[in-house]
Amino acid sequence: MTSRRLKYLFLLIAVLGALGCDGYGPPEAPPLINATTILSLEVVPNPVVSGDSLTFRAVVADSLRDDVRFNWFIAGRPFLLTRTSVYRTVATEPPGVYNVSLHVNRDGYGFQSVNANVDFQVLAEVNNN
């Protein structure tokens, strides 16, 4: 190579380096953003008598969006996917203290789920005989 060609080659490398063009690997993925914010999570009533109904209620920013999903993990039961921030059920667990975990996410790529946990107590069924 002539010295003139070497000068152009070095100039090209310097320009590409200054522009930050390394040419290696895929572009970086944008950082994940939180899907929403869980403001509160509660169990009503707490404590609850075994066999009675109970309600799990979350206050979530953007909860009325169509793309928000609520994943409920309740006391070892199979997880439940809902589109609402309220879930009503019956306390079927034996007496004890249990945990409910709520994971909230949005449809699509780029969102990181947020979660919250709360404990609730199940009391023995009252026998009035």
Identify the CATH assignment for 33-123 out of 3.30.450.40, 3.30.70.360, 3.30.40.10, 2.60.40.10.
2.60.40.10
- For residue 39, which amino acid is it? L
In sequence order, which ranges of the chain are alpha helices (DSSP H)? 3-19
Do 117 and 43 contact (CB within 8 A), yes or no? no
User: Is the pLDDT at 1 greater than 70, yes or no?
Assistant: no
How is residue 124 written in tokens? Answer: 């023995």
Instruction: Identify the residue with better confidence: 87 or 12.
Output: 87
In this predicted model, what pLDDT tens digit does every residue of 2-23 receive, in sequence order? 777 777 777 767 766 666 655 5
Residue with tokens 């152009």: 8
Question: Which long-range contacts link 91-97 to residues 24+ away (Cβ below 8 Å)?
Answer: 91/48, 91/49, 91/50, 91/51, 91/52, 91/53, 91/54, 91/122, 92/50, 92/51, 93/50, 93/122, 94/50, 94/122, 95/50, 95/122, 95/123, 95/124, 96/121, 96/122, 97/121, 97/122
**17-67 pLDDT per residue, tens:** 666 655 566 777 777 677 788 999 999 999 999 999 999 999 988 777 788
Strand partners, 114: 104
Whole-prediction pTM: 0.70
Structure tokens at 110: 């780029």
